[in-house]
Amino acid sequence: MLCISVAPVSRKLAKADLLNAAGQGDLIELCVDYFVKEPDIGDILQGIPKPVAIACRRPQDGGKFEGTDEERMTLLRQAIVAGPEYIELDLEAAAKVPRFGKTKRLISVTSLGGPPADLDAVFEEAAAVKADAIKFAWPTPTFEAAWPLLKLLSQKRSLPVVGLGLGRAALTLALLGKMLEAPWSYAALEKGLESFPGQPTVSELKDNYAWDDIGPKTRFVGLVGPIERQTGITARVLNAAFRKLDDRHRCLPLTVHSFDKLLTRLEGLKIHALLVAPSLAAEAAQAAGRREGSAEPSGYADLLARQPDGWTAYNTIWRRALAALEGRLDKKSPDEQPLARRNVLVVGSGGMAPALVYGIQKHSGIVSVTGPDEKVSQQLAQKFNVRHVPFHALYDTLADVVVIADAAIKMGHQKAEINAGYFRPTMLVMDLGAMPYETELLQEVRARGCKVVEPREVFRDWAASQFESICGKKFPAETYDEVMQLEL
């Protein structure tokens, strides 16, 4: 089930939020601790067509209730009389508020410092206060922090367990909870109405991550890296393609602290493929037991796949990027290498820079590397034995092709930024810093008359190659166009 959290501040807003949530979720959590004035809960619940769980949380439990303990107990008792499906009670409140009618008791254990030390004791206490289910919540900024909650959801316990992650990994936890058949997962009604930072919204779960498709037979593909706009569009494109071909794979965002223990844990969840963000591609290459082809010399891996003999790393972006780059250069003959003997300046030392330097060099381009971090860009140049250009000397460096390979590179006049005045109409520019979206820099370059490599086209070819590597089926190109028409 999907439980939509609403936290209105007035009776009027409560009615509207509850009715909106009823059309999108299976259960509604009404947080009454946000009300400015004491609410008439019985009246608010009239006419709401979905079951409701009522919560009134203290600040130490992540809530907003600022009254006395006696006032809170009174409000909780009034809430039970209104006949909601669930009343959420912390262990302290549960000892003071008796069971009434058919309302079920959800015992909430929120520990803002991390998992409770003695989980078995918590279950015993919950059973003693006649719990019908138990909810655990603690900060989950990363997958590692959410792992103990995932273990709880996957175990057979004396009480049904609901998990609520507080932070970025809440999205991951909600999706995995659906696969593990947890009683429900939580979501916000829309952006701006989250109960805590990082709470996923209904549209994020359904539109980006195919919530309605997920079940025990789902085979997740991990998207490792920051949960951001690019992660969302990757998930939408791949999930649409999986659905089109009736394939059981779906995308799972993973914000990780490191690759330590990650691959072993994912195997336990039967996750055997990972798409890795550029910022973590070097670490991913090192984490895999084997590096295939260009992943070894480039030290860059955007795909990890679990093979019978262990995890293998692949560098897939460079071929797609180089094909698009060469496609924008004029060929005099079919056998010509368009990049041969052309001066190519790679700007940035992080992100995709190692993969693209490797590819350009392999295609006989004359590579130079520059970036705001002089030490790191020098190391990158030394690794591939190419020329290093100090960032302050960028404007004295001529290039036929300019490749922006790092999302950290921005347009501007500051020391660590690149001035759009550097670009000339004779240049070919590729900026993959926000692929498939255009950066402000690329828009300015286009206006100056430069040829550009379309990031949308590179992304399409990259997504197709990842899709086919994961499920062994031909990528349905029409789904890409359908998704991108809605997005761009």
Burial of 98 (0-12, 13-18, 19+ CB in 10 A): exposed
Confidence of residue 334 (pLDDT cuts 50, 70, 90): low
Residue 215 domain flag: no
Q: Note whether 401 and 344 are within 8 A (CB).
A: yes
425 and 446 housed in the same domain: yes
Q: Are residues 16 and 119 in the same domain?
A: yes
Looking at the fold, whether 368 and 291 belong to one and the same domain comes out as no
Cα 35 from Cα 64, distance rounded (Å): 9
Tokens 């072993």 belong to residue: 264
Does some domain include residue 209? Answer: no
| CATH number for the domain that contains residue 435 | 3.40.50.720
User: pLDDT by residue (tens digit) across 119-140?
Assistant: 999 999 999 999 999 999 999 9
Q: How far apart are CA 461 and CA 481, in angstroms?
A: 12
User: Does 371 map to a domain?
Assistant: yes
What does pLDDT average to over the chain? Answer: 92
CA angle, residues 219, 175, 140, in degrees to nearest 5: 125
CA 484 from chain center: how many Å?
19
Range of the domain at 263: 235-315+461-487
Q: Are residues 303 and 376 in the same domain?
A: no
Question: Whose CA is closest to 132, among 107, 162, 154, 95?
Answer: 107
Number of structural domains in the chain: 3
How many beta carbons lie within 10 A of that of residue 198, not counting itself? 18
Based on the domain organization, do 415 and 465 belong to the same domain? Answer: no
φ, ψ dihedrals at 122, nearest 5°: -65, -40
In a domain, 75, yes or no: yes
Say if residues 411 and 440 touch (Cβ distance below 8 Å). Answer: yes
pTM above 0.85, yes or no: yes
pLDDT band at 333 (very low <50, low <70, confident <90, very high): low
pLDDT at 332: 67
User: Residue 8: inside a domain, yes or no?
Assistant: yes
Helix (H) or strand (E) holding 87: strand 86-90
Strand 161-166: give its sheet, edge to edge.
161-166, 133-139, 104-110, 86-90, 52-55, 27-31, 2-6, 185-188
Q: How many beta carbons lie within 10 A of that of residue 473, not counting itself?
A: 15
Closest by alpha carbon to 349, among 326, 379, 318? 379
pLDDT value of position 197: 83
* Residues 469-487 pLDDT 10s: 999 999 999 999 999 887 7
Answer yes or no: do 432 and 482 share one domain: no
Instruction: Please report whether residue 20 resides in a domain.
Output: yes
Same domain (yes/no): 251, 390 = no
Q: Report if residue 274 sits inside a domain.
A: yes
